[in-house]
Amino acid sequence: MRFLFIVLALISLPAAAQTALPHVALETDAGTITIRLEAEKAPATVANFLRYVDGKRLDGTSFYRAMLVGDPGKFGLVQGGVKGDPKRLLPPVKHEPTSQTGLSNTNGAISMARGAPGSATADFFIILGDLSSLDAKTEGAKTEGQGDIAGFAPFGQVVEGMDVVRTIQSAPTSPTLGEGAMKGQMLAKPITIKTARRVAYTPPEPAPKQDFDPAELPQP
């Protein structure tokens, strides 16, 4: 009888409530970034990220890298996470490529940082602009000498706080810190992630549609 009650209660819930996606707020020194996690499209990657969130393993970590191309806030990424701290690390998560999830590394996407496919743990980056070049590629699109075509795995989208992301991207970088492609992209003073918590999120109401009256236009 109790089981039947639970089933009926679930059926009575609105469909949106049953399928609501998890959201996480990253409270940083620069402000709060709220992220929608695509648990249906990238279930393994989202579950991995939530293990770090629920275990408070991201608390006290930082955004430590900012890649800037062209004008600030237009193109690039900011990267954060545990930065290899062995006390915070969990086992790597399997790679969920964009060819499988249908997601893309475009403006506002959060994606896993990694070395080889299947090596991602706790570090991630948030994208500014269109970096769909980081998506998985087919064998036919593989260029000569290109080894890894698995791409990077996006698993969510910033829904509030892109202004904070742009602030982090504009922060001063060190000309000497970092190795390889990251040299010159490491923040001189990393931006602390004070907490990472699941949150209830309600999308803002759309602005009311303005009625247009041609009579109000200035006459020639």
DSSP for the chain, written as a single string: -HHHHHHHHHHHS-HHHHTPPPEEEEEETTEEEEEEE-TTTSHHHHHHHHHHHHTT-STTEEEEEEEE-SSTTTSEEEEEE-TT-TTT---------HHHH---S-TTEEEE--SSTT---S-EEEEES--GGGS---GGGPPTT----S---EEEEEEE-HHHHHHHHTS-B-SS-S-GGGTT-EEEEEEEEEEEEEE---PPPPPPPPP--GGGSPP-
Distance CA 46, CA 77 (A): 20
Distance CA 195, CA 156 (A): 18
Task: Give the pLDDT band (50/70/90) at residue 206.
Answer: confident
pLDDT the model gives residue 16 = 52
Displacement of CA 184 from its chain's centroid (Å): 23
pLDDT the model gives residue 13 = 39
Tens digits of residue pLDDT in 92-142: 999 999 999 999 999 999 999 999 999 999 999 999 999 999 999 976 555
CB 112 within 8 A of CB 96: no
Mean pLDDT of the chain: 87
User: How confident is the model over 54-65, as a mean pLDDT?
Assistant: 98
Q: Kindly report the pTM of this predicted structure.
A: 0.82
pLDDT the model gives residue 73 = 73
Q: Which two tokens stand for residue 16?
A: 């949106």
Task: Give the pLDDT band (50/70/90) at residue 215.
Answer: low
User: How confident is the model over 143-152, as a mean pLDDT?
Assistant: 71
DSSP strand pairing (76-81 vs 61-68):
antiparallel
Bridge partners, 65 (sequence order): 79, 186
Q: Is the pLDDT of residue 194 over 80?
A: yes
Question: Can you tell me which residue has the tokens 């009256």?
Answer: 213
Bridge partners, 156 (sequence order): 37, 110
User: How confident is the model over 14-22, as a mean pLDDT?
Assistant: 60
First to last CA, the chain: 75
CB 179 within 8 A of CB 35: no
pLDDT the model gives residue 181 = 84
CATH tag, 21-201: 2.40.100.10
